Homo-oligomer: A and B are copies of this chain.
Amino acid sequence: MDVKYIINKVQLYQARNSALCNHDKARYFFFQYYKEFSQLLKTHIDNRPVIDMVSEEHKAKTHRDALEVCKMGVLDVRVIQKDPKIFLSYLTSLSGCDISLMAKLVIHFQLFGGTILELGTEEHHNKYFPDIKSMKIVGGFGMTEMGHGSNVRQIETVAEYDHNTKEFIINSPTRSSTKFWIGNMAKYGTHIVLFCRLIYKGEDKGVHGIITQIRDLDSRKVLAGIEIGDCGPKIGWNGIDNAWIRFTNYRVPKENLLNRFANISDSGEYTCQLSTPGKLFQVTISQLVFGRLLYICGPIKALVVTLRTGLTYAFNRRQFGEKGKKEDLIINYPSHYQALLPMLSHLVAFEFARDSIIERLLEPKTTDERLDETNSTISGVKALVNEYTMIYLNKLRTFCGGNGVSSYNLFGYYRNEMDIFQTAEGDGAVLYQQLSKFLLSEYKKWYKKEGVTGYIIKEVQTFLATSNPMYTHTRSIPYILSNEFHHHAFLYRFERVRSTVIEKLSHSKSKKMTFLQSWNDSLLYVIEMAKAYSHLYILEQSHLAIRRCQDPSTRNLLNDLIKLYALSNIEHDFAFFRNCNFLSSGKALAISDAIKELCIGIKPYALQIINSDYNVLIDPLLNIPLANLDGDYINHMADRVGVPKANL
């Protein structure tokens, strides 16, 4: 075998897990917490993925396990406040358990507790945090209704303030206002943060959050004025008891209003620090961002595990070959390696982007603008990562043939558990639009600052047009392989689509469409813009991350991997690049050839790369028969299902 790279294992490991464990002690610290908590978990609960259990039993197990985890006394809302790094390390450890258990604790600590932390005040913190820590109370997040998921602003549940008793009177006025999918609540939950319209002196003040008790703490009976039931079995997360909830003149004391930003004084005066209900709403849901980060970490973890299985199998399974010779390893079929290696390159690029987001989220809060940018970027990356993950999980299963169908190899498990990640806390189409809005407002700001009407658009278009000739036809391999070309292509794509959107929006304006009409009319481009930006962000962060790796040969390998990400991404979008004449057909073919060469070059190192992820090193490998490091999948599958050793 031609030795193309000499890998420095430590450096590869550090580069792959930069946000978690490089030489910086603070980060190693994070990693240490992850490791210790992971090991501790195993001594307390059976944390293996649940693969064959009815949902009722699964819910009971998940609740028992959650109580056990809380008994360990490690998880605490105050940790989110004091050291979010450590809290994140705990949640990351939990992603190695059955996903329902992780989800239950995230809902309880981060969605319920975190909302009280962000929107509540000291009194709420002191009153609730100890009971959240011990799980004496079980919390949920009461936002979604039957009629409204994505468009939360239009929820219908009302809380009317009654100054006589200093209480809110909560009602579900229609069937569509029924709270739906409220996690942790159908069987075991005691409290939710209820999101509802606050009606003050007959006036609708918009969406507010109110801590609302659901069950009596002693008897665990549902309180009068509340009707509740289970939403039934689901594609995944069946250990979570999702509830529908209805309120009829249910009364909650005034002090349960999360009043950091909006308050009702003892004398009964409503005040709000924010200028409009719209802004209050934005602040109210902005704390979902931390959660969205988890929706990036989860799919990446699932990809690490399943891609590792797919690669290990491909490097050991033989099928077909020359007559009279040993059959060929399936990794050597282009249909396999030209699919698996681009997946690996995407995964590593996603990880670099994830690590950069973690670092950004954990930096001390700076400007609103910076926060806006981070939030919008997270939205795009979350949508993108989930989209790729679902496609890859399906392909990976088929690459393992019939063995992929066995529950033990976890392809179905992860697909079912990850499915909900695609739309939870923001459907892809909605999140992409959110990012695009930010990207257009950035453009607008710049445009306003420059102050030359029409000029900028023209200039951008000129840049787009003139930038072509020098690149379109260059088939030079070094240039095709250069990071400079990749960055230019990704940047070009983003700027080009943004300029198309701007053009379309201006054009519709002249046709007297409303903004919403013209926005919707351009929706496919709006979504493309956000995707293009997300890929640009991922590429840039990958380039930055690789620079940190000091060993030249290891860095070369990572560099080639990201080149493969960039080129296979460009190839996937040839239609775009060819249609705007960014590439000639000859250059496109040269790119496809370069991809094949990169795949062949990286192939011998694929297992080492995938196995340098911290999840793989520390986790018990989830006991996946096809993924065992020794590659002896036949014996591991056979042992798992009780096939006796051959007696001949």
Residues in chain A within 8 A of chain B (CB atoms)? 51-55, 144, 146-151, 154, 171-178, 180-181, 227, 229-236, 238, 244, 246, 248, 319-322, 327-328, 332-335, 338, 390-391, 394, 397-398, 401-402, 404-408, 411-412, 415-416, 419-420, 422-424, 427-429, 514, 516, 520-521, 523-524, 527, 571, 574-575, 578-581, 585, 588-589, 634-635, 637-638, 640-648
Contact = CB atoms under 8 A, between A and B. Distances in A.
Contacts of A634: 146-147, 175-176
A244 B641 contact: yes
A234 B236 CA distance: 15
Nearest to A395: B390
A235 B412 contact: yes
Contact of A144 (B146, B227, B402): B402
Given A147-B634, A229-B642, A321-B516, 8 more contacts: A52-B233, A173-B646, A175-B646, A176-B634, A231-B406, A231-B641, A404-B423, A581-B585
A172 B648 CA distance: 8
B394 A390 contact: yes
Contacts of A422: 397-398
Q: How many copies of the chain does the oligomer comprise? A: 2
Contacts of A585: 578-581
A520 B641 CA distance: 34
A172 B178 CA distance: 60
A646 B322 contact: no
B235 A401 contact: no
B151 A327 contact: yes
B149 A232 contact: no
A412 B419 contact: yes
A150 to B, nearest CB: 5
Task: Please report whether the interface of chain A is mostly helix, strand, loop or mixed according to DSSP.
Answer: mixed
A146 B638 contact: yes
A461 B634 CA distance: 47
Contacts of A332: 520
Contact of A227 (B173, B644, B648): B644
B641 A398 contact: no
B419 A416 contact: no
Contact of A175 (B52, B149, B233, B635): B635
B646 A405 contact: no
Contact of A516 (B322, B575, B647): B322
A405 B648 contact: no
Contacts of A227: 643-644
A55 B54 contact: no
Contact of A319 (B151, B420, B574, B578): B151
Contacts of A233: 51-52, 406-408
A423 B398 contact: yes
A398 to B, nearest CB: 5
Contacts of A524: 334-335, 338
Contacts of A246: 643-644, 646
B334 A401 contact: no
